[in-house]
Amino acid sequence: MLFNSIDFALFLPIVFLLYWFVFNKLKIQNLFITFVSYLFYGWWDWRFLGLIFFSSLVDYAIGILLKNQQKILLRKVLLVLSLSINLGFLGFFKYYNFFVDNFVQAFTLLGHSFQHQTLQIILPVGISFYTFQTLSYSIDVYRRNLEPTTDFWSFFAYVSFFPQLVAGPIERASNLLPQFYVARKFDYAKVVCGLRQILWGLFKKMVIADNAAELANQIFNNSSDYSGSTLFLGALFFAFQIYGDFSGYSDIAIGTARLFGFSLMQNFAFPYFSRDIAEFWRRWHISLSTWFRDYVYIPLGGSKGSNWLKLRNTFIIFLLSGFWHGANWTFVAWGALNAIYFLHLLLFKRNRKNMSHISIEKNISSIKTIASIVFTFVLTIFAWIFFRAENLQQAFEILSAIFSASLFKIPDVWSQKMLLLLVFFVAVEWKGRHGKFALEKFGLNSARATRWIFYGFLVFLILVLKPTEEIPFIYFQF
């Protein structure tokens, strides 16, 4: 079920009313959340309900076994079992054909050829997200950082919680699971705040991302026909497409969870206003970057040790992040390029330089800040070319065209409407950058009538500029 669909527009208010006014006891609410979450997920393809159920059951059982097991060796065996089952499912559905194809190509280069057959595998929506979510639970229980639960329905509701089930945020059990243990009370202020965040998320997705996608797809799908200036513009549109699409989903998810009395972690913190790449990665897809930090980077040694170890750990974390996104060398290249961007900051100990809020005043330092933001944004645009390209050859051809004299030609494809929308979008995001989402505090000091006119304007733009068909979120394929 898509957040930007008529189905969800009917589903959400019905679930909301039943949750608060019919099933208003804690255990019944948790059971109800599990049921509607499975309904929400099964709306896409009911055949994969068994997969998420089995994954949940495995980690629920392993948590209980870890609770009663004191022997270090057996605890390690249980953890390895959880890792093997969860990553095994993820590896099969997401990477089987990739590894088979590349294995065959490697042997072909060595002069050996043999016939092989790939499988017609359907990637279960959200498997990368809920797999990491259940794994974090088992790892935290193994580390004794979290007390394992014996509440079956709370755990299953935690894993399948429909607002963030298919595209995050990737919630830690330490944050979300305890919220299923305590009674939730209806809070009008939280509901209003949640609706504001949903509205902004829908605007990001249906107005910014989907309209930018139309132009980005036209340019990338015919990249050999266009000049460097047009290709750079296409990469710019894709940068706003993926941000509007993915952060829009996160806003809708977090806002929807707030309607039911839950607090999810912030997943985006205005990343395109970052002053360097290190800051960008503290602001972009926060739930994934912190997951890799806590469960891979720090156990490897993090930023401690020699420069060689720092380089190794940095490349591992960025390559894994790229590969997590999909079975294509373009994603690996995207991760590697971001690692290269990051290296000089790490080696010169400047990766934690920009930790404060971004402020612009009329002085020289502000000019430097703006220049840093623009430069960092341009670097991310070049990296997104690898993310969006069909293959490495296309990515390098696009870059070659951009770094040619044709960069100075008038673009063949552009849209005045889209550029005006982007100016409006960036202005609102900049104004609201100190909140957890753009509209959290935006206009709260203004008259109520002014706020409602603004909200009405957003609704008007959504209704007028939304695409004619429901377009899935980009991260559904990851």
What residue spans of 204-285 are helical by DSSP H? Answer: 210-221, 228-259, 277-283
Query: Do 64 and 172 share a domain, yes or no?
Result: yes
For the cut 90, the answer to whether the pLDDT of residue 305 exceeds it is no
For the cut 70, the answer to whether the pLDDT of residue 112 exceeds it is no
- Average pLDDT on 115-127 reads 72
Give the pLDDT band (50/70/90) at residue 302.
confident
| φ, ψ of residue 183 in degrees (nearest 5) | -65, 135
- In this prediction, residue 15 carries a pLDDT of 96
When the pLDDT of each residue in the chain is averaged and rounded to a whole number, the result is 90
Among candidate residues 128, 152, 185, the one where a domain is terminated: 185
Cα–Cα distance for residue pair 220/478, rounded to 1 Å: 20
Query: Do 25 and 88 share a domain, yes or no?
Result: yes
Cα–Cα distance for residue pair 339/317, rounded to 1 Å: 8
Q: What percent of the chain lies above the pLDDT cut of 70?
A: 94
Residue 339 in any domain: the answer is no
Enumerate residues 6+ apart whose C-beta is below 8 A from 321: 288, 289, 292, 335, 338
Structure tokens at 103: 């294995």
Neighbouring CB atoms inside 10 A of 439's CB total: 27
For the cut 90, the answer to whether the pLDDT of residue 18 exceeds it is yes
Amino acid identity for residue 145 in this structure = N
- In this prediction, residue 337 carries a pLDDT of 96
Catalytic residues, which ones?
325
SS3 per residue for 342-406: HHHHHHCCCCCCCCCCCCCCCCHHHHHHHHHHHHHHHHHHHHHHHHHCCCHHHHHHHHHHHCCHH
Residue 296 in any domain: the answer is no
Residue 349 in any domain: the answer is no
Query: Do 30 and 91 share a domain, yes or no?
Result: yes
- In this prediction, residue 111 carries a pLDDT of 60
Q: Is the peptide bond before 299 cis (omega within 30 degrees of 0)?
A: no
- In this prediction, residue 139 carries a pLDDT of 95
Cα–Cα distance for residue pair 60/150, rounded to 1 Å: 8
Cα dihedral across residues 293, 477, 230, 416: positive or negative: negative
Identify the domain containing residue 62 by its residue range: 6-185
- In this prediction, residue 94 carries a pLDDT of 84
Query: Do 99 and 24 share a domain, yes or no?
Result: yes
Residue 322 in any domain: the answer is no
Angle between helices 416-431 and 210-221 (to 10 degrees): 130
For residue 117, give the 3-state DSSP assignment: coil
299 contacts 79 by C-beta, under 8 angstroms: no
Cα dihedral across residues 101, 103, 104, 106: positive or negative: positive
Query: In terms of C-beta density within 10 A (0-12 exposed, 13-18 middle, 19 or more buried), how is residue 431 classed?
Result: middle
Question: How is 130-147 classified by DSSP, letter by letter?
Answer: HHHHHHHHHHHHHTTSSP
Query: In terms of C-beta density within 10 A (0-12 exposed, 13-18 middle, 19 or more buried), how is residue 18 classed?
Result: middle
Question: How is 267-290 classified by DSSP, letter by letter?
Answer: --S-GGG-SSHHHHHHHSSHHHHH
For the cut 80, the answer to whether the pLDDT of residue 138 exceeds it is yes
Distance set, CA 471 to CA 127, 138, 325 (Å): 20, 35, 19
- Give the tens place of pLDDT for each residue, 53-70: 999 999 999 999 998 888
Amino acid identity for residue 298 in this structure = I
Q: Which of 99-103, 178-182, 378-382 has the lowest mean pLDDT?
A: 99-103
Give the pLDDT band (50/70/90) at residue 118.
low
Residue 35 in any domain: the answer is yes
For the cut 80, the answer to whether the pLDDT of residue 110 exceeds it is no
- In this prediction, residue 167 carries a pLDDT of 85
Query: Do 203 and 171 share a domain, yes or no?
Result: no
For the cut 90, the answer to whether the pLDDT of residue 306 exceeds it is no
- Average pLDDT on 295-306 reads 87
For the cut 90, the answer to whether the pLDDT of residue 477 exceeds it is no
For the cut 90, the answer to whether the pLDDT of residue 385 exceeds it is yes
Query: Do 264 and 170 share a domain, yes or no?
Result: no
Nearest to 133 by CA among 84, 80, 184, 175: 175
Amino acid identity for residue 229 in this structure = S
Q: Tell me, rounded to whole angstroms, the distance of Cα 38 from its chain centroid.
A: 21
Query: Do 106 and 218 share a domain, yes or no?
Result: no
Query: Do 153 and 39 share a domain, yes or no?
Result: yes
CA atoms within 13 A on the CB side of 245: 22
Among candidate residues 169, 185, 201, the one where a domain is terminated: 185
Residue 269 in any domain: the answer is yes
Give the pLDDT band (50/70/90) at residue 448.
confident
Cα–Cα distance for residue pair 165/255, rounded to 1 Å: 14
Query: Do 131 and 204 share a domain, yes or no?
Result: no
Structure tokens at 276: 């360097």
Query: Do 147 and 196 share a domain, yes or no?
Result: no
Q: Which of 33-42, 148-157, 205-214, 356-365 has the lowest mean pLDDT?
A: 356-365
Among candidate residues 123, 158, 185, the one where a domain is terminated: 185
Query: In terms of C-beta density within 10 A (0-12 exposed, 13-18 middle, 19 or more buried), how is residue 433 classed?
Result: middle
What is this structure's pTM?
A: 0.93
Residue 1 in any domain: the answer is no
For the cut 80, the answer to whether the pLDDT of residue 103 exceeds it is no
Amino acid identity for residue 433 in this structure = R
Residue 317 in any domain: the answer is no
153 contacts 270 by C-beta, under 8 angstroms: no
Give the pLDDT band (50/70/90) at residue 102.
low
Query: Do 85 and 221 share a domain, yes or no?
Result: no
Total domain count for the chain? 2
Amino acid identity for residue 444 in this structure = L
Query: Do 12 and 156 share a domain, yes or no?
Result: yes
- In this prediction, residue 347 carries a pLDDT of 85
Give the pLDDT band (50/70/90) at residue 264.
very high
For the cut 70, the answer to whether the pLDDT of residue 275 exceeds it is yes
For the cut 90, the answer to whether the pLDDT of residue 113 exceeds it is no
- In this prediction, residue 26 carries a pLDDT of 94
For the cut 80, the answer to whether the pLDDT of residue 437 exceeds it is yes
Query: In terms of C-beta density within 10 A (0-12 exposed, 13-18 middle, 19 or more buried), how is residue 50 classed?
Result: exposed
